[in-house]
């Protein structure tokens, strides 16, 4: 079995299994903790509405903080949108997924995907430079921050190299690209990348608590 066959076969299966099991483990372990009950008299019972409102509203920059947070907001939005557009709207990716799941959807033109890939890489580089230079981010950052960054940019960068046939033999590049995705999948449940799940729970909890107290969700 060569590298590409491994990446397409057992590598992908193992990565998927570890990701799914890891995510389930992390979520279930937290959900099995004690639930807090609040016996104070609520100002409002519309807690679900408050939870959903905060989930939505916190996705947009607040004008009060925007002068200080605009770069993080802009770069964050850019690389998230770019990453998912490249992942889900690149025709070869759609064909790959169709081969496994049997479902497909329309993609974007290749030139647009390449452009989005380049923008994503630059946004991620911008995020890294900021993390390395900003005193607060330098202090807060740990291995997880840098390794998650590396594993996020790797599939995009190797994908761009693959599209340009740069660096090495095409099949080897494809294998490296697939393995970079699989590494990301394996790392996902153990890392900060799990914020893909926690962000909604965390916002929802705070939004519900705010609504209960009658605090505007901001």
Partner 1 sequence: MNKPEEFTADRQGEQSDEARTNGALQDFITDCTVDTAIYLESCIHCGLCAEACQFYVQTGDPRYTPVWKLEPFKQAYKREAGPFSFFYKALNLKHRVTVDELEAWQHLLYDACTLCGRCSLVCPMGIDVASLIGMARHGMHRAGLVPKDLYALAQRAEDTGSPLGASPELFRETINRLASEHSLDIPLDRAQADVLVTLSAAEISDYPESIVAMARVMNHAGYDWTYSSNGFEATNFGMLSGNTDWQRDMSMNLINAAIACKAGTVVVPECGHAYGAFRWQAANMYGEPLPFRVLHIAELMAEAMEQGNLRVTPVEQSASFHDPCQVSRRGGATQAPRTVLKQLGVELHELPGGGELNWCCGGGGGVMQIGRADELRYAAFRLKIDQVEQAGADRLYTSCNNCRLNFSDCGEHFHWDTRADSLLELVADNLAD
Would you count residue 201 as binding partner 1 (CB under 8 A)?
A: yes
Tell me the C-alpha distance between 157 and 146, whole Å: 16
Would you count residue 133 as binding partner 1 (CB under 8 A)?
A: no
Measured CA distances, 116 to 51, 66, 142, 178, 183 (Å): 32, 25, 28, 19, 22
Would you count residue 139 as binding partner 1 (CB under 8 A)?
A: yes
Would you count residue 110 as binding partner 1 (CB under 8 A)?
A: no
For partner 1, which stretch binds (CB under 8 A), given 78-86, 90-98, 173-181, 194-202? 194-202
For partner 1, which stretch binds (CB under 8 A), given 6-14, 118-126, 152-160, 205-213? 205-213
Tell me the C-alpha distance between 207 and 198, whole Å: 14
Cα–Cα–Cα angle for 124, 92, 77, rounded to 5 degrees? 25
User: Residues 31, 100, 103, 166: which binds partner 1 (CB under 8 A)?
Assistant: 31
Would you count residue 125 as binding partner 1 (CB under 8 A)?
A: no
x/- track of binding to partner 1 for residues 36-75 (CB under 8 A)? xxxxxx-x----------xx--xx--x-xx--xx--x---
Give the CA count within 13 Å in the CB-facing half-sphere of 158.
Answer: 24
Contact 15, 187 (CB under 8 A): no
Contact 19, 185 (CB under 8 A): yes
For partner 1, which stretch binds (CB under 8 A), given 93-101, 161-169, 180-188, 199-207? 199-207
The residue (of 102 and 135) whose beta carbon lies closer to partner 1 is: 135
User: Residues 8, 49, 80, 192: which binds partner 1 (CB under 8 A)?
Assistant: 192
Would you count residue 21 as binding partner 1 (CB under 8 A)?
A: no
For partner 1, which stretch binds (CB under 8 A), given 78-86, 92-100, 115-123, 136-144? 136-144
In DSSP terms, which residues pair with 29 in a beta bridge?
A: none
The residue (of 177 and 203) whose beta carbon lies closer to partner 1 is: 203
Burial 58-97 (b: 16+ CB within 10 A, else e): beebeeeeeeeeeebeebeebbeebbebbbebbeebbeee
Q: At what angle do helices 110-133 and 66-89 cross, to 10 degrees?
A: 140
- Residues of this chain that bind partner 1 (CB under 8 A): 25-26, 29-31, 33-41, 43, 54-55, 58-59, 62, 64-65, 68-69, 72, 76, 134-142, 145, 190, 192, 194-195, 198-199, 201-207, 209-210, 213-216, 218
């Amino acid at each position: 079995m060569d590298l590409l066959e491994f990446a397409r076969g057992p590598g992908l299966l193992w990565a998927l299994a570890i990701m799914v099991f890891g995510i389930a483990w992390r979520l279930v372990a937290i959900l099995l903790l004690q639930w807090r009950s609040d016996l104070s008299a609520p100002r409002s019972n519309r807690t679900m509405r408050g939870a959903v409102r905060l989930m939505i509203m916190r996705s947009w920059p607040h004008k009060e903080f925007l002068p200080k947070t605009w770069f993080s907001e802009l770069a964050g939005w850019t690389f998230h949108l770019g990453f998912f557009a490249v992942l889900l709207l690149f025709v070869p990716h759609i064909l790959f997924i169709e081969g496994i799941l049997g479902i497909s959807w329309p993609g974007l033109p290749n030139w647009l995907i390449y452009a989005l890939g380049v923008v994503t890489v630059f946004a991620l580089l911008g995020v890294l430079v900021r993390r390395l230079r900003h005193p607060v981010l330098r202090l807060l950052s740990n291995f997880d921050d840098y390794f998650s960054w590396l594993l996020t940019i790797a599939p995009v960068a190797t994908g761009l190299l693959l599209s340009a046939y740069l660096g090495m033999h095409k099949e080897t590049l494809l294998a490296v690209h697939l393995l970079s995705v699989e590494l990301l999948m394996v790392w996902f449940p153990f890392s900060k990348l799990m914020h893909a799940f926690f962000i909604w729970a965390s916002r929802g909890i705070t939004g519900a608590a705010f609504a209960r107290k009658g605090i505007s969700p901001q």
